[in-house]
A and B are shown apart, each in its own frame.
Chain A
Amino acid sequence: MYSAIGAGLAVIGAGLGIGQIGGKAMEGIARQPEAVGDIRSNMILTAALVEGAALVCMVLSFFVAPPAA
């Protein structure tokens, strides 16, 4: 059960982070539509890096959790 709570907490952080990235990218595209290609690829890259941190937390929470719990 605790591992599920840990995974959920990790997802909260990643959700906030990716939300920020997506929101700012939308703003950037609205301000400067001609830069959409650059913004999109950088957005995906940054979102992937944030997601990576969340995945490490999730995997740790599943492995470190007591068995049987």
Chain B
Amino acid sequence: MTAFRKFWIALVFSGLSVFAFAQHGESHHPQQQTEHPAAATPDEHATDHSDTTAHGGHDCGHSLSEEGEFNAGENAVHHIADANAIHILGNTYLHLPCILYAPGHGWTLTTTSAFHPHHHGNGENSKEGYVLVHGNIMRLTNTALMHGEFQVSDYTHQEIEEKGKKKIRYNAIINGNCEPLDAKTTYDGGIMGGGITSFYDFSVTRNVFTMLLTALVLFLLFRSAAKSAVRTQGHAPKGLQNFLEPLVTFIRDEVAKPNIGPKYEKYLPYLLSAFFFILGLNLIGQVPFFPGSANVTGNISVTIVLALLTFIISTFSANKHFWEHTLWMPGVPAVLKIFILTPIEVLGIFLKPFTLLLRLFANITAGHIVILSFVSLIFIFGKAGESFGGSMAGAAASIPLTLFMMTLELLVAFLQAFIFTMLSAVYIGTAIEEPHHH
């Protein structure tokens, strides 16, 4: 049993660490391009500024340090996206290690403190060709700037058209020149607006840090509970064990046993790890300030790995009976099998983990976006700090609504962890079900 448990935990974390770097800032999402063209911005000052940043006749886009008009959607997406540095308060950051690789340039090991991030997570200088924009690492495309440090006076973003697709490109202004930036490589084949670019980011990001923190907290909690379980064997449970043991027995008796059947013990370690890991991440994501504030289970790369583990386990433990009923079910005309049933069943094998990952991702992301939108009410009513009365009215509306959503999210945190575990158990159960004797 213990060997199995260690194996699953190692599998979960190795999987997560491999995939975590494939995350990318949601700001590159094609649907999130809600940038206003300069002409449509009512703020005359912002228009003037973007004109002055246009160097040598070509447009360099809009400055990032310019506050401009408040956009609730962009703001929400920025706050749920992953980042390379953890923003604590004001200009204080928790600096995280950066492990970057660019083909032809080699590895760059540094921390985010090397970029001197200030307001909005924008770095003051470049290092070895990398810069920090909105807390995310990007790379300069100009090969003359690949070595050493350069002062970056400002960052801009602009909408460009590339291969018939509209994209947002970020630029850094170095020595008064507009230098285009490359975003991180993502393995989504450009579906979400990313794709293979000039560098790979293997860094410990905000999400990875929170995952490690959650794993550590869970380890300490369960070690103490397990110790007291051994000590109080035969007696009434004590302390922390009182809290954790009902949850463990709930997963065992209500989730694993009825859905998997007599062989449930083999899969119990995975189900328990998945349940407590997802629950821990959901709960820590609810905390709006420092140790929390990372939206881990609302990041599709993380849920992809979790669903992939369920997929691998259920597919590889599937027996002959399962494959027979999936690919060539008995008692059905061959024409029906070839053209309808088998394709549907094969599609179903992949749809099951797909809905599993989407459900967790969509529920958590939706909750966070709703909370952030309610918080944004303060800025919308207050016209981004211009109207004090408006801000107060916004706060009066926003605080009860946010509290309500937070309570609902607490329920969702438990429910989604439970549903993920439950459906994993159901998928494993259908895969290893023994044939009924007719």
Residues of A at under 8 Å CB distance from B? 3, 37, 41, 44-45, 48-49, 51-53, 55-56, 58-59, 62-63, 65, 67-68
Contacts and interface: CB of A to CB of B under 8 A. Distances in A.
Contacts of B165: 67
Contact of B358 (A44, A56, A67): A56
Nearest to A65: B31
Contacts of B97: none
Interface in B333-364: 351, 354-356, 358-359, 362
A3 B31 contact: yes
A68 B419 contact: no
Contacts of A63: 191
A12 B33 CA distance: 27
A12 to B, nearest CB: 17
Interface residues of B, number: 21
* Top-8 shortest CB links A-B: A52-B355, A67-B30, A55-B358, A48-B419, A55-B362, A67-B166, A62-B31, A52-B359
Interface of B: 30-31, 33, 165-166, 191, 254, 258, 351, 354-356, 358-359, 362, 415, 418-419, 422-423, 426
Contacts, number: 45
A55 B355 contact: yes
A14 to B, nearest CB: 11
Nearest to A59: B358
Nearest to B418: A44
A69 to B, nearest CB: 9
Nearest to B354: A56
A16 to B, nearest CB: 18
Given A52-B355, A59-B362, A45 B422 contact: yes
Contacts of A55: 355, 358-359, 362
A67 B422 contact: no
5 contacts: A44-B422, A48-B419, A48-B423, A56-B355, A68-B166
A48 B359 contact: yes
B33 A68 contact: yes
Contacts of A56: 351, 354-355, 358
A53 B356 CA distance: 11
Nearest to B423: A48
A68 to B, nearest CB: 6
Nearest to B159: A68
Nearest to A45: B422
A67 B423 contact: no
A51 B359 contact: yes
Contact of A41 (B30, B355, B415, B422): B422
Nearest to A41: B254
Contacts of B30: 67
Contacts of B362: 55, 58-59
Contacts of B354: 56
Contacts of B423: 45, 48
Nearest to A52: B355
A44 B31 CA distance: 32
Contacts of A3: 31
Nearest to A69: B31
A67 B191 CA distance: 11
B257 to A, nearest CB: 12
Nearest to A38: B258
